[in-house]
Amino acid sequence: GEDVEQSLFLSVREGDSSVINCTYTDSSSTYLYWYKQEPGAGLQLLTYIFSNMDMKQDQRLTVLLNKKDKHLSLRIADTQTGDSAIYFCAEAFKAAGNKLTFGGGTRVLVKP
Amino acid sequence: NAGVTQTPKFQVLKTGQSMTLQCAQDMNHNSMYWYRQDPGMGLRLIYYSASEGTTDKGEVPNGYNVSRLNKREFSLRLESAAPSQTSVYFCASSPITRAEQYFGPGTRLTVT
C-alpha cells in the first residue's frame, strides 16, 4: 500500500536543530524527497535520497533513512526563522511510474 | 528559465461555472501533474501525464478533465464547478529519468 505519515507540528527555538520525521509503507520505493512550502507558495524541492543510501548531507540539511523501519528524517542544523514553513516528505516507486506519494506535511515554527 | 508557470493565480467561480487552469513548463520535462491541496489533507493527485499524448487519473479525478496540449502545456478543466472544488491547485513537472517534481506557484480557487 501507499501511505506516508508525518507529525503535524514542530516548534523549535532559533539556533537549535530541528528534526522532522516521516514513515512510509512501500518498501519498493526508489527515491525519497523532502519539500518545503512557504506561506502562499508552491513546493520547493529541498533534497532527496536514494533508497539504497542511509544518509545524505547537504549544508545544514541531513537526511537519514532507516529502510528496516521505513523511517525517514530531515535534520535542519542551526534553525533560522526563514526555516518556518511546512515540510513534506514524499516517496516515489517504479511500480507506480515514479509518481510521488506525499505525506500530510509538518508545520515547523521557529521561535526567536 | 521560468520553470513551471500557472494562470490564473486567483479565481472565484459561482457553482456551475466552468473554467480552465493553465500550466506550462520550460524545462523540457516529459511528465506533468495536477494536484489539489486542502487544509489538513496534504497534496492529492488529480491527473497526470507521463508523456505527451497520454493522460491518466490520479487519486481524485472526479469533476475534472485534462488536456496535454503539447510537451510544454497541461491544462485542467472544471466543467461545472462545485464548492467542494474550492482548493489550491498545483501543477508540477518532472524529467523522464528522475522522479523529483518541480512545482508551480499555485492557483487559489474559490467556488461559491
What the block records as the C-alpha cell of B76 is 485542467
CA distances from B91 to A23, A74, A107, B74 (A): 25, 25, 22, 8
CA-closest candidate to residue A91, choices A49, A37, A38, A60: A49
What confidence tens digit (pLDDT) does each residue in A41-100 have? 999 999 999 888 899 999 999 999 998 899 999 999 999 999 999 999 998 876 666 788
Residue A1 has pLDDT above 50, yes or no: no
Residue B100 pLDDT: 87
Residues 6+ apart with CB under 8 A from A68: none
Residue B75 has pLDDT above 50, yes or no: yes
CA distance A9 to B9: 28
CA distance A97 to B112: 36
- Strand A106-111, strand A9-13: pairing: parallel
CB-CB under 8 Å, B41 with A104: yes
CB atoms within 10 A of CB A14: 14
What the block records as the C-alpha cell of B34 is 495536477
DSSP string, A2-44: --EEE-SEEEEETTS-EEEEEEE--TTEEEEEEEEE-TTS-EE
SS3 annotation, B35-96: EEEECCCEEEEEEEECCCCCCEECCCCCCEEEEECCCCEEEEEECCCCHHHCEEEEEEEECC
Among B48, B102, B105, select the one facing A41 at the smallest CB separation: B105
User: What residues of chain B lie within 8 A of the CB of A104, using their CB?
Assistant: 40-42
CB-CB under 8 Å, B102 with A45: yes
**The residue count for chain A:** 112
CB-based contact A94:A88 (threshold 8 Å) = no
Residue B37 pLDDT: 95
Residue A97 pLDDT: 66
What confidence tens digit (pLDDT) does each residue in B29-72 have? 999 999 999 987 789 999 999 888 899 999 999 999 999 989 99
Among B4, B101, B106, select the one facing A100 at the smallest CB separation: B101
